[in-house]
Structure formats: structure tokens, C-alpha cells
Amino acid sequence: MPPRWLNPAPDRREALTLLGLGGASLIGGGLATGAAAQQVDLGFAGGTRQLSGDWPQKGSMIVLRERAPLLETPMSAMDGEVFTPNDRFFVRWHYQDIPTAVDPSTFRLRIGGAVQRRVALTLADLARLPRVEIAAVNQCSGNSRALFSPRVPGAQWGDGAIGNALWSGVRLRDVLDLAGVARGAANVRVSGLDRPPPGAPWFAKSLALDHARDGEVMIALAMNGAPLPMLNGYPIRLIVPGWYSTYWVKALDRIEVLMGEDDNYWMAKAYKIPATPDAGVQPGAKDFPTVPINRMTPRAFFTNVDRATKVVANDPFYVRGLAMGGASAVARVDLSMDAGKTWHAAHLGPDQGKYGFRLWEATIGGLRPGGFRLWARCTNADGQAQSMDAIWNPGGYMRSQIASVAVTAA
């Protein structure tokens, strides 16, 4: 029996009706919306950021770094949207020499290394392979890094280095088969059209051969039914469902099959996490065993209310957000108003793929005047749930603590 404060929205139609009520009783503190908003406060020291509509093929984005571009998606742009619009999808490049022009007639995807025959594929060659489609969340390894405590250096993302799209393309396995993987090969290394400064290591990432050939890892030729924006990897990028974005190499143009381990900097040194169950260590810890970052973990986000929300006392209000299961599907999203002592199920929107976002929503009513805190916790189909406790690691990776918002009823 749910408590009086929570009415899981039973269906979409009722939820939309209640959204009108909820919207009316929100009296400020909401997320910045619309083109008029020039600034956004991401809720941490130094988190006041400019919004800019100046980036090519992009709408209003939070500019974290101009060169190489780091553009964050405002959470308001994801509100009610299981699929993040292409023109609001976050952008993250490592090196400043990024592709700004692509001629599809001369573009080639080259496959070499431990293969039976090296091949150079045109986009038309790729388009002739069996077509697959998958909804999958693309999340930066360092998403929410700025919320780490103590703070760590690096790109100071809020929660918006994340997006979900319907990716359409071809299986990496089918592409590898055109070259014929050599017997005994171990890893598949991928890289794109971006270039390092002189002497710096090429940005390249590797997957174990079995993973690369699992039939889920794919090369996207389209995103939400349209060509990829240049800043998101036009013409093609790798899609690694359930894994962090660092593996989703943009403007993919090289595949190299390796007989052994990849000792390149970007696999051997960068994007390493503590080899602990939750990727956390004591703040300040050093010299612990590490592994390459890999599968994502469950998360739930609020999208229609800010971290500090004001509501009208004794009036119902509507909250919603998005959840992801990480390496498996979203099983449930639960809400708590007593710091996790009791949890109550939110209503889930349609399942549009185990690796994608799933909308959650609830109507919360009758709060007496005062201050409250509302928590949202995602549990995935493997039974893995978010924790109330934050992890810490020096890279600022894999933050997935249960999100909460302060609610003041007056």
C-alpha cells in the first residue's frame, strides 16, 4: 500500500493530466528551459555555466570547454524525452584536431591487423550489410564528475554528459567477417578521424574479440533516424551497448585486430578504474589495482524538477525523470522521502530497449508546509541497485549515487 504522498501515475494519459496540475503547483526553482535561458546552475561550486546556441548542428548546449569541445546537455532538454534529440546530444572530444568535413565518396573504413585480408569499405559497402537497430544510452565515463567529493580534476561535467538514441547500422561482427579475423586474435582496436598533437598517443580503444563479435556491438550509420551530427561522429561511430562512451569511437575509420593486449595509452593508462566491486576507493588512495572502465551501472535522474524545488503545500505535484539500467534493463525505479528507509515504486514508461532510457514518473501530493528530500533509485534486471553512498576514485568515473532533490512546500 503506497503512502499517502505517492500516487504512481497509472498510465500515460493520466500522467499528462497530472503534469498540468504539477506544473501549475511548481513555483520556481525549476530547470532553466527555452532559448531565453542563457545560464544554468548545475548545483556545485563553479557550476554556473553559459548556454550557447553557436555550435554547428546543435541547439542550446552547456559549454564546458570550447577546444576540444565539451558540450553538456541541459537536463531540461531530456525531460519527457526517452530519445535525446540529436541537436541536444552531448559532445566530448579529447584532442582539438577533430573532423570538421567529411566527403562520403572518399571516406573509407579500413580494417587491418590480424586479419585474412585487409579491406577498405565505403559507406555503400557498409549499407549493404544486414541492418540492425538498438536503443542505447551513451554516457561519458566522467559524467557527474563535478559532484565528486572531494573534487577531482578533469572535465567538470554535471549530470548531462549522457543521452539515449535509436542507433541504426550494422553489426561489428559482420564488418569483421569481411576481413576475416585471424585465428588466435584477442582484441579489436578502433580509432577515428581525430588526430593527436605531435607525439601524443592516438585516441584508440579496444574491445575483447568476443565482445566485439557479440552481435550487439555495432557501427551506427544513423542516429534517431538521421545522419549523425558531425560533432557526434559523422559519418559513423561505434556503439557499445551497456558500456561507457569512451569505447563509442566517433568518426570511426580504422579497425585493427590485435593478437595480444592493447598497450596503447588510452587502454593501458587512461580510463582505468579501481578493481573494486563498486569502482570506489578511499579518497586520496593511490597505487591500487585498476582495470579498464567497462559496463555502466543503473542510474535514475530527475528531469522536470531542479535540485531545489518549491511546491505549493497540500497540492499534488508531478515528478518525472529518466532511468537507465546500465548493463541490463531497468527493472524498477523507486522513490523515497525518508532517506531510503522505505521505497515506493514509480510508474515506468514503455520499455524501448534494455540499454536505453526508460521514463519514470509519479505524482506526489499533500506535502505539509516544510522541507523535504525526495530520492529516486533505479534497480536493473540483474538486481543491481543504486546506492545512497557516493563512491570516490581519482579519475572521477562511474558516479551513480542515488539522486535526490530538495522539496520545499509552502
> Strands (DSSP E) along 262-369, which ranges?
272-274, 290-292, 299-302, 308-311, 317-324, 330-336, 344-345, 347-348, 358-364
Of residues 134 and 402, the one with the C-beta less far from another protein:
134
Q: Does position 132 bind another protein by CB under 8 A?
A: yes
Q: Does position 198 bind another protein by CB under 8 A?
A: yes
Give the cell for residue 196.
Answer: 593527436
Query: Are 288 and 274 spatial neighbours (Cβ–Cβ below 8 Å)?
Result: yes
Tell me how crowded residue 277 is: count the other CB atoms within 10 A of its CB.
6
**Partners of 181 in beta bridges:** 115
When binding is defined by CB under 8 A, the residue of 96, 276, 328, 408 that contacts another protein is 96
C-alpha span between 271 and 358 (Å, rounded): 27
Q: Does position 284 bind another protein by CB under 8 A?
A: no
Count of all residues that appear for the chain in the document? 410
Q: Does position 168 bind another protein by CB under 8 A?
A: yes
Of residues 5 and 234, the one with the C-beta less far from another protein:
234
Residues in contact with another protein, shown as a per-residue x/- string from 341 to 360 under the rule CB under 8 A = ------------x-------
Q: Does position 202 bind another protein by CB under 8 A?
A: no
Of residues 151 and 295, the one with the C-beta less far from another protein:
151
Q: Does position 270 bind another protein by CB under 8 A?
A: yes
Q: Does position 59 bind another protein by CB under 8 A?
A: no
Q: Does position 408 bind another protein by CB under 8 A?
A: no
Collapse the DSSP code of 268 into the 3-class scheme (helix H, G, I; strand E, B; otherwise coil) and give the result: helix
Judged by CB under 8 A, the stretch of 15-23, 124-132, 310-318, 381-389 that binds another protein is 124-132
C-alpha span between 120 and 106 (Å, rounded): 11
Residues 137-166 close enough to bind another protein by CB under 8 A: 146, 151-153, 155-156
CB of 402 to another protein, least distance (A): 23
When binding is defined by CB under 8 A, the residue of 18, 62, 77, 134 that contacts another protein is 134
When binding is defined by CB under 8 A, the residue of 123, 185, 308, 345 that contacts another protein is 123
CB of 326 to another protein, least distance (A): 17
CB of 117 to another protein, least distance (A): 24
Which spans in 166-283 are helix H? 172-179, 209-212, 265-268
Residue with cell 575509420: 253
CB of 325 to another protein, least distance (A): 15
Q: Does position 61 bind another protein by CB under 8 A?
A: no
CB of 31 to another protein, least distance (A): 20
C-alpha span between 136 and 348 (Å, rounded): 17
CB of 276 to another protein, least distance (A): 22
Q: Does position 131 bind another protein by CB under 8 A?
A: yes
Which spans in 341-394 are helix H? none
CB of 48 to another protein, least distance (A): 6
C-alpha span between 251 and 228 (Å, rounded): 9
Q: Does position 231 bind another protein by CB under 8 A?
A: yes
Q: Does position 126 bind another protein by CB under 8 A?
A: yes
Judged by CB under 8 A, the stretch of 9-17, 173-181, 245-253, 264-272 that binds another protein is 264-272
Q: Does position 105 bind another protein by CB under 8 A?
A: yes
C-alpha span between 41 and 120 (Å, rounded): 47
Number of shown-chain residues binding another protein (CB under 8 A): 61
Collapse the DSSP code of 19 into the 3-class scheme (helix H, G, I; strand E, B; otherwise coil) and give the result: helix
When binding is defined by CB under 8 A, the residue of 17, 38, 48, 116 that contacts another protein is 48
Q: In whole angstroms, how far apart are CA 357 and each of 293, 323, 349, 388? A: 21, 5, 10, 21
Q: Does position 104 bind another protein by CB under 8 A?
A: yes
**93: closest CA among 256, 230, 221?**
230
Query: Are 193 and 102 spatial neighbours (Cβ–Cβ below 8 Å)?
Result: yes
**CA 183 to the chain's CA centroid:** 35
C-alpha span between 317 and 268 (Å, rounded): 49
Query: Are 64 and 155 spatial neighbours (Cβ–Cβ below 8 Å)?
Result: yes
Helix (H) or strand (E) holding 72: strand 70-72
Q: CA 167, 244, 203 angle in degrees (round to 5)?
A: 95
What are the residues binding another protein (CB under 8 A)?
Answer: 45-46, 48-49, 52, 54-57, 63-69, 95-96, 100-105, 123-124, 126-128, 130-134, 146, 151-153, 155-156, 168, 196-201, 215-216, 221-222, 225, 227, 230-231, 234-235, 265, 269-270, 353
